[in-house]
Structure 1
């Protein structure tokens, strides 16, 4: 049974989300936010985190950053802070989706299911090598030579998608559909931000064996020399 950790200080909202997720077959643990700690996260080992940003004693963005330091667990932000700058900040820090309050609990369940599917769809038992760049789908790891790359979950998914389709150009909308999912509402700037992070991770590979190219007016392509 997949585990969902809900970090939310408002009990009625947390209970509503918990009821709907449990009906959908998830094991749900509620944390009020002020009691959250890295130890809780590492001990319970959730498969996904639903994170409120407006907590009484902690900054949700700081919690997101700390979760990212300890692994690639998918995180969906669930908050009343629904402005575009807040969304972009959350997605830049590695959130997998962003749901603004008020919300439909059935939509929350659907978003959780979608993110769960996306986090596992590339876990296949094969490996792609592009020069010194190795993409191991079974372990969900990428490395340059013997050095593993540090990638956020979404960045890993983006690089894996590019690696399966080298030398093909994809528009931002196509990448949103294929990597983020058709129900994602963060906008195509999320693609630009993720591409920038992946390029930084590939800085020692780019220009030597390949690169992620910007095709003006069309989109992005993983060019392999």
Structure 2
């Protein structure tokens, strides 16, 4: 039974989400403040956190950063701001998905199902190696030339997806569909995460070693040529 922590100060929304998630087979705990939510997240170790950004005692983005500093639990954030810059800021801070207010309980349940599918239906259990890149799906660790890579959840999933298809060009829309829930992402978001992953690998688009952009098509991950 998936464990879901809902941190939401609006009592009507909180109760509606709690009722639906309980009815659909989730173990749910509800918190109305940031501090209660942080305590519950640390003590209970939920499978998913639903986090409202407009909390009364602490900015939700700060709560997001605090949780992410100690845990890779999937976090779905609720925000009233629809600007793309805000969405990118949240993703950069560690959010796995987001929903724009006002949202229905059914909508948030769909988001939760999506992040759980990504967490449990990701890369195969066997390790992956491409050149000096190594990835352990079970331990969710990756390294480059023996040096550990510090990757966000989405960066790890993106790298694993590309390594499983090494040498093959993967389209942006394919990444959008298979790594992110398509209804909540844009092609620009895919580009942003590819750029972040490229930086973690210590390379630039103009001088790629592993991540190669095929203009107008997509991205290909392949081992570098000898001497590069």
Q: What's 2:138 paired with? A: 138
Secondary structure in 2 matching 1:124: coil
| Post-superposition CA distance 1:141-161 (Å, at most 9, x none) | 212244322111111110000
Distance 1:14 1:62 in 2: 20
Deviation at 1:3, TM superposition (A): 0.9
Q: Identify the residue that residue 151 of structure 2 maps to in structure 1.
A: 151
Listed as ranges, the matches of 1:183-194 within 5 Å are 183=183, 185-194=184-193
What's the counterpart of residue 86 of structure 1?
86
Secondary structure of 1:25's aligned partner:
coil
Match of 2:124 in 1: 124
TM-score by length of 1: 0.90
SS in 2 for 1:155: helix
CA deviation digits over 1:138-179, x for unaligned, max 9? 222212244322111111110000000112222221110011
Aligned length: 223
- Return 5+ residue gaps in structure 1 as ranges: none
1:19-77 Cα offsets, whole Å, 9 max, x none, are: 11111111111111242464432211011110111111211111112222112111111
Distance 1:57 1:89 in 2: 21
Q: Given that residues 91 and 97 in structure 1 are in contact (C-alpha distance below 8 angstroms), is that contact kept between their aligned partners in structure 2?
A: yes
TM-score by length of 2: 0.89
Q: Which residue of 2 aligns with 1:29?
A: 29
Aligned to 1:98: 98
| 1:196 counterpart residue number | 195
Deviation at 1:209, TM superposition (A): 9.7
Report the secondary structure of 2:143's partner residue: strand
